[in-house]
Amino acid sequence: MKTRFTTSFQLKQSKMLPNGTAPIYLRITIGADRVELSTKKYVQPARWNPAAQKVSGNIEEARALNAYLKTMEQEVFQAHQALILESKEVTAANIKSKLLGEDTEQHSIIDEFKDHNKKMEALVGKQYARATWKRFETTLKHTQDFIQWKYKVPDLDVSRLNHEFLENFEFYLKSVRDCDHNATMKYLANFKKVVLRCVKNGWISKDPFNGFKLSLREVKINVLTDQELDAIAKKAFDSARVGKVRDIFLFSCYTGLAYADVKKLKRSEIRQGLDGKNWIFASRQKTETDFRIPLLPEAARILKKFEDNPQCANMDRAFPVMSNQKMNAYLKEIGDLCGIKKNLTYHLARHTFATTVTLSNGVPMETVSKMLGHKNLKTTQHYAKIVDTKISQDMDGLRKRRSKKLSQGI
């Protein structure tokens, strides 16, 4: 015979506080066995609906409290199911013990994420780049905000991790946080590392990411052509500040340095290489990967313009770089003045170096990859698709010219 299992919420007016609120208790009943535990929530008796077992009203406070009670009720049913799966005696007292974590060590999502990040931070510079740790810190913040948004609580037990949790997390990142698809997938990939840690430690029996696709979409990369580079280089600007922004941007076009790397570039990091010519010897801020780049004549000329800049000399910097936001604002102006229809942003410089300046001119991909500071050749390979497009366009033009000659009998 199946024992009846029920839950209900009761308002304990006998324990009313001086402010006129009474505590809400959760009652768990299995047959004749019954226990109660505090929800740690209080409400004015006039606002409590005993028939519906929830707070009356449609204000945000009432909705949040009712959602909290609903979540707590779901946790009771999960504890009941867990006892069955663990082949343990299903009693009201055992369910209460499981809810309170008295039967086993508790592991919560946020606590485990914080512990993971703390250990990762201790290994920065040894096993991880600081930028990697910062990305996991950002993912942790998104996870905390999501749990509060969805479940109205600051943390959840790791047993709540399932496919539905991931689907809701993905929806939250794309809708509430307005992340694009690839950014969302990267945050979830970071989160997966913490989830797999819980699986390996036996805190959850099944990997919720099984069957959950973490697929990235191909991103269209914009680059500047040789003609557009020349137009920017030859354009005379009335504002000296705009001219400086143009020069620093072009330096990155001819070296592949990202904004963060050109901003921290020291004069002392530019020195003679084995060939007797000037090279850049530095490391990427994003990945802390060392790179070496021989200076092209265009880059060397730009560097020389800033030799007497007092701000650079005092700080051992190659360039007086302003904020990325201001640089991009000026670059938009430069693009408009030069008649370039593309959205001119600083990161376009790195893409231009990889394609127009190097790969399109026969520089091997392995060499380009090392100069860009990529840890994996696959990171560089997506630039090759752009070069293939150019080859296709050039060959198409050649086909047309040859077809024209054949038609004329030449």
pLDDT of residue 116: 95
Strands 48-49 and 54-55: antiparallel
> Are residues 110 and 91 in contact, defined by beta-carbon separation less than 8 angstroms?
no
Counting residues of the chain whose pLDDT is more than 70, the rounded percentage is 92
Q: How far apart are CA 242 and CA 237, in angstroms?
A: 7
405 sits in the region (left: phi over 0; alpha: psi -120 to 50; else beta) called alpha
Return the CA Rg of the chain. Answer: 31
| Other C-beta atoms lying within 10 Å of the C-beta of residue 223 | 23
For residues 303, 304, 308, 312, the Cα torsion angle rounded to the nearest 10 degrees is 10
Q: What percent of the chain has pLDDT over 90?
A: 36
DSSP string, 113-137: HHHHHHHHHHTBTTTB-HHHHHHHH
Beta carbons within 10 angstroms of residue 349's beta carbon:
28
Per-residue pLDDT reduced to its tens digit, 157-190: 887 889 999 999 999 999 999 999 999 999 999 9
Tokens describing residue 264: 């921290």
State the DSSP H helix or E strand holding residue 42, giving kind and residue range, or none if neither.
strand 33-43
pLDDT at 385 over 70: no
| Residue, of 385 and 27, whose pLDDT is higher | 27
- Please check the confidence at residue 101 and state whether its pLDDT lies above 50: yes
Closest CA to 238 of 337, 321, 343, 345: 337
Higher pLDDT, 205 or 118: 118
**What DSSP line would sit under 307-331, residue for residue?**
TT-HHHHHHT-SS----HHHHHHHH
Q: Is pLDDT above 60 for 1?
A: no
Q: In this predicted model, which residue has the larger pLDDT, 367 or 287?
A: 367
Q: Please, are residues 166 and 208 in contact by the beta-carbon 8 Å criterion?
A: yes
- pTM, full prediction: 0.56
At residue 3, the pLDDT reads 66
Spatial neighbors of 267 by CB under 8 A, at least 6 apart, are 312, 313, 316, 317, 318
* Max intra-chain CA distance, the chain: 106
| 107 or 233, higher pLDDT | 233
Task: Report the half-sphere exposure of 8 (CA within 13 A, side-chain side).
Answer: 13
Q: How far apart are the C-alpha atoms of 140 and 138, rounded to whole Å?
A: 5
Q: Higher pLDDT residue, 37 or 85?
A: 37
Q: 9 vs 37, 49, 70, 169, CA distance in Å?
A: 10, 10, 10, 29
Q: How confident is the model at residue 86 (pLDDT cuts 50, 70, 90)?
A: low
Distance CA 318, CA 263 (A): 8
User: Average pLDDT, whole number, for the chain?
Assistant: 86
Q: Is the pLDDT of residue 132 over 90?
A: no
pLDDT digits (tens, 9 = 90+) for 236-264: 888 889 999 999 999 999 988 888 888 88
Is residue 52's pLDDT more than 80?
yes
Q: Which helix (H) or strand (E) holds 276?
A: none
- Look up tokens 């060397």; give the residue: 300
Over the stretch 183-222, which tens digit does the pLDDT of each residue have?
999 999 999 999 999 888 888 878 999 989 888 887 677 8
Among 19-28, 84-93, 241-250, the range scoring the smallest mean pLDDT is: 84-93
Judged against a pLDDT cut of 70, whether residue 384 lies above it is answered with no
